[in-house]
């Protein structure tokens, strides 16, 4: 069999974190699978942080990022940049991850040039086209373009089946973010190296936010809730907020929180310190998709700053709660977890609905099966003991 050329295409921080384990797993079959790495550069600094940590060296970098880029900018620049590369390299398969505009544009490029497309983290849905925006539609469009679907959970498999995707083309793998997390969370990391000084005796509350549908009033409300939380618990908590590079996020966050005493605003953290900061945290408030998957596995309660989530599994178990962007509700729920030990204990049991650390291996085994290099499909991911609700 000729070597099969697998083109990975990604562009943002979370895609890179979730692709890294697959790139590593694929390298174990150098005689069968040959990787080629293309980044759109939709994120510049935040992507480069991850490439450095995971030692990934792209073969092509489209370098598309511009300040305050629009969705059309991302899609058109990625698509035209990829056209040339796909035509030159003629890969046997193109792999994308998740729901960003790079993901969708790369899927479209694969379709236009009839390259088989594999979609990692397929089948997540909120069933609301505006929440999250534009990710819900990016995911649905990518599903229609893909030939193989790597679904992380049983729920995501069911969502794909409901859209009449053939079961034979779906592989239930778990989410590769748990592979990345488990490798990175091992051992110790001194947070001082990353400029984070935690005060002994104070509870750490970690906050991240970046969703487009929260821009404007919702983000202001979120920041005001955080300011109130910081002021009312000034002696007992410390809020750390690594602020996303998006200027629209930075501006609102700085306007409301820069002067609040026990709030530390930082640049985005490298993945290793961020994971260790999650481990040290008492409570996490976030609108991130990836953090919603990682925190439950570390036993950290999460209040999700969104109205809807495409990751319902940890909500059903009780580790994650949706609080939206209502200032009073965010404050009240966080305040309760800081004061009421029983409520906190109930939410803080470690649970792993999203993966077992073996997702990347299953994805690579599925590729070997797809190309006929092995004659069995990989064993599917099974959740262990997920009961509460």
- Residues in touch with ligand UD1 (CB under 6 A): 12-14, 42-46, 65-69, 71, 74, 99-101, 134-135, 210, 212, 245-247
Is residue 205 a contact partner of residue 303, using CB atoms and an 8 Å limit? no
Is 333 a catalytic site residue? no
> What, of ligand UDP, ligand UD1, none, does residue 309 touch, CB below 5 to 8 Å by kind?
none
> What, of ligand UDP, ligand UD1, none, does residue 242 touch, CB below 5 to 8 Å by kind?
ligand UDP
Contacts (Cβ under 8 Å, ≥6 apart) of 389: 316, 317, 318
For residue 79, give the nearest of 48, 56, 103 by alpha carbon: 103
For residue 315, give the nearest of 269, 359, 354, 276 by alpha carbon: 354
Is residue 296 at the binding interface for ligand UDP, with CB under 6 A as the rule? no
Is residue 242 at the binding interface for ligand UDP, with CB under 6 A as the rule? yes
Distance from C-alpha of 316 to C-alpha of 151, rounded to nearest angstrom? 19
Is residue 81 at the binding interface for ligand UDP, with CB under 6 A as the rule? no
* Long-range contacts of the stretch 78-82 (C-beta < 8 A, 24+): 78/11, 78/40, 78/42, 78/102, 78/105, 78/106, 78/109, 79/105, 79/108, 79/109, 81/40, 82/9, 82/38, 82/40, 82/106, 82/109
Distance from C-alpha of 348 to C-alpha of 320, rounded to nearest angstrom? 9
Q: How far is the CB of 29 from ligand UDP (least distance, A)?
A: 26
Query: Is the backbone peptide bond immediately before 28 cis, with ω within 30 degrees of 0?
Result: no
Is residue 11 at the binding interface for ligand UDP, with CB under 6 A as the rule? no
Is residue 79 a contact partner of residue 46, using CB atoms and an 8 Å limit? no
First CA to last CA distance, the chain: 49
> What, of ligand UD1, ligand UDP, none, does residue 67 touch, CB below 5 to 8 Å by kind?
ligand UD1
If the CB atoms of residues 4 and 125 are measured against ligand UDP, the closer one turns out to be: 125
If the CB atoms of residues 39 and 226 are measured against ligand UD1, the closer one turns out to be: 39
In the three-class reduction of DSSP (H, G, I as helix; E, B as strand; rest coil), residue 262 is classed as coil
> What, of ligand UDP, ligand UD1, none, does residue 325 touch, CB below 5 to 8 Å by kind?
none
Catalytic one among 5, 44, 131, 212?
A: 212
Given 56, 146, 269, 304, the residue binding ligand UDP (CB under 6 A): 269
Q: How far is the CB of 65 from ligand UDP (least distance, A)?
A: 14
Is 326 a catalytic site residue? no
Near ligand UDP by CB under 6 A, which window of 81-89, 104-112, 156-164, 289-297?
Answer: 289-297
> What, of ligand UDP, ligand UD1, none, does residue 274 touch, CB below 5 to 8 Å by kind?
ligand UDP
Cα–Cα distance list, 318 to 189, 190, 211 (Å): 29, 31, 23
Task: State the angle between helix axes of 247-257 and 217-232 in degrees (0 to 180), rounded to the nearest 10.
Answer: 40
For residue 211, give the nearest of 265, 123, 291, 151 by alpha carbon: 291
Is residue 13 at the binding interface for ligand UDP, with CB under 6 A as the rule? yes
Is residue 210 at the binding interface for ligand UDP, with CB under 6 A as the rule? yes
Is residue 335 a contact partner of residue 56, using CB atoms and an 8 Å limit? no
If the CB atoms of residues 116 and 268 are measured against ligand UDP, the closer one turns out to be: 268
If the CB atoms of residues 250 and 346 are measured against ligand UDP, the closer one turns out to be: 250
Q: How far is the CB of 245 from ligand UD1 (least distance, A)?
A: 3
If the CB atoms of residues 67 and 114 are measured against ligand UDP, the closer one turns out to be: 67
Q: How far is the CB of 62 from ligand UD1 (least distance, A)?
A: 13
**Helices and strands, number each (H, E), in the chain:** 15, 13
DSSP state, residue 268 = P
Is residue 105 at the binding interface for ligand UDP, with CB under 6 A as the rule? no
- Residue 263 corresponds to which tokens in the numbers above? 């709030």
Catalytic one among 149, 244, 306, 362?
A: 244
Binding footprint of ligand UDP on the chain (CB under 6 A): 13-14, 17, 177, 208, 210, 242, 268-269, 271, 274, 288-291, 294
Q: So which residues are the catalytic ones?
A: 99, 121, 135, 210, 212, 244
């Amino acid at each position: 069999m000729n070597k099969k050329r697998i083109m990975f295409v990604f562009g943002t921080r979370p895609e890179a974190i979730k692709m890294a384990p697959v790139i590593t797993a694929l390298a174990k079959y150098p005689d069968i699978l040959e990787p080629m790495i293309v980044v759109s550069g939709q994120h510049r600094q935040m992507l480069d942080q991850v490439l450095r940590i995971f030692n990934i060296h792209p073969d092509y970098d489209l370098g598309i990022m511009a300040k305050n880029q629009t969705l059309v900018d991302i899609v058109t620049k990625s698509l035209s940049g990829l056209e040339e590369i796909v035509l030159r390299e003629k890969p046997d398969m193109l792999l994308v991850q998740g729901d960003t505009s790079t993901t969708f544009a790369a899927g479209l490029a694969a379709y236009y040039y009839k390259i088989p497309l594999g979609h990692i983290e397929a089948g997540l849905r909120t069933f609301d086209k505006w929440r999250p925006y534009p990710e819900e539609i990016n995911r649905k469009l990518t599903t229609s373009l893909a030939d193989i679907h790597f679904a992380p959970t049983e729920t995501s498999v069911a969502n794909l089946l409901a859209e009449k995707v053939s079961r034979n083309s779906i592989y239930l793998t778990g989410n590769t973010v748990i592979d990345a997390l488990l490798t990175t969370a091992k051992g110790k990391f001194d947070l001082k190296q990353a400029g984070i000084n935690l005060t002994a005796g104070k509870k750490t509350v970690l906050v991240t936010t970046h969703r487009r549908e929260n821009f404007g009033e919702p983000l202001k409300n979120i920041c005001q809730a955080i300011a109130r939380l910081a002021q009312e618990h000034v002696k007992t908590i410390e809020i750390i907020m690594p602020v996303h590079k998006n200027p629209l996020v930075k501006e609102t966050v700085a306007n409301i929180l820069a002067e609040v005493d026990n709030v530390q605003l930082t640049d985005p953290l490298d993945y290793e310190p961020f994971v260790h900061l999650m481990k040290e945290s008492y409570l996490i408030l976030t609108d991130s998709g990836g953090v919603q998957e990682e925190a439950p596995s570390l036993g950290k309660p999460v209040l999700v700053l969104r109205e809807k989530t495409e990751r319902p599994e940890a909500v059903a178990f009780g580790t994650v709660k949706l609080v939206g962007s209502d200032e009073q509700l965010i404050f009240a729920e966080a305040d309760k977890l800081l004061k009421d030990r029983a409520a906190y204990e109930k939410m803080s049991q470690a649970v792993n609905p999203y993966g077992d650390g073996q997702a990347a291996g299953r994805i690579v085994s599925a590729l070997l099966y797809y190309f006929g290099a092995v004659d069995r499909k990989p064993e599917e991911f099974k959740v262990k003991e997920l009961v509460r609700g």
